[in-house]
Amino acid sequence: MATTSTLSTPDLLEQVRLAGSPPKHVAIIMDGNGRWARERLMPRPFGHRSGMKAVREVVHGAIEAGLQHLSLFAFSQENWQRPTTEVSALMSLLEEYIAREVAELSERGVRVRILGERDRLTDGARKAVEMVERTTAHNDTLTLNIFISYGSRTELVRATQSLARDVAQGIMSPDDIDEDAISGRLMTAGMPDPDLLIRTSGEQRVSNFLLWQLAYTEFYISGVLWPDFGRRDLFTAILDYKRRERRYGKVSV
């Protein structure tokens, strides 16, 4: 019998479809752009540019696989500490990605949302972000969540402050604070938690990404560096996920 590694990409997609309902929400920590560039004796932004092509490929794969939400961690709050040239290159790439892809994303029914501290983005990037969100707001085939200048602990701090303010003003009581109340104050409010988290490049860390939302998420570590990650890698991860038994802390029946 053919293993996933010997199947063609269309056959892998067929396997994904035969495996039944796909995960609703897949989150990806895109890692390894710098190493990919270094292996080619090129500067780091060269890896990010190739990483942008992988984003395009994976978005198409997510539509084919029938995902409802795809969340990509593109830039963390900690990433602001990288050299200015690299940060500028990433901001420009975001603008370029949006300008290049907005028409096709719209046509394919993709809604784009940008999550993170957008006040810190360059003017150009912020305008591009507002434009793509506005243009794609009514689409519902796939929601593409791009996390930029995002940190999960800050998100939790903000949610806590917002609840505390409501308690202080008598709008709610401390006893009203439950899991739904906290989830409802996060940037991901209204979205299902990720079923599957993929991290590329072999690293095995969460890196301050969706700490609350990943409580019961299945993890899949891929050894592939992000610029080389394609739809067949996405399909392979989904098939691996479909073979797992999710117990949410209970025992199997």
Active site residues: 31, 79
Amino acid identity at 7:
L
Minimum CB separation from ligand FPP for residue 26, in Å? 15
| Angle, helix 123-136 to helix 84-107, in steps of 10 degrees | 20
Per CB under 6 A, does 186 bind ligand FPP? no
Interatomic CA distance for residues 231 and 237, integer angstroms: 10
Q: DSSP secondary structure string, 78-91?
A: GGGGS-HHHHHHHH
**Stretch 14-73 residues interacting with ligand FPP (CB under 6 A):** 30-35, 44, 48, 51-52, 55, 72
- Rule CB under 6 A: which of 218-237 touch ligand FPP? 226
Q: How far is the CB of 114 from ligand FPP (least distance, A)?
A: 9
The residues in 76-95 that bind ligand FPP, with binding defined as CB under 6 A, are 79, 93-94
CB-based burial label for 248 (10 Å; 0-12, 13-18, 19+): exposed
Shortest distance, position 251 Cβ to ligand FPP, whole Å = 38
Footprint on residues 125-154 left by ligand FPP (CB under 6 A): 146
DSSP designation for 22: P
Q: With binding defined as CB under 6 A, does residue 97 bind ligand FPP?
A: yes
Contact 67, 22 (CB under 8 A): yes
Q: Rule CB under 6 A: which residues touch ligand FPP?
A: 30-35, 44, 48, 51-52, 55, 72, 74-75, 79, 93-94, 97, 146, 201, 226
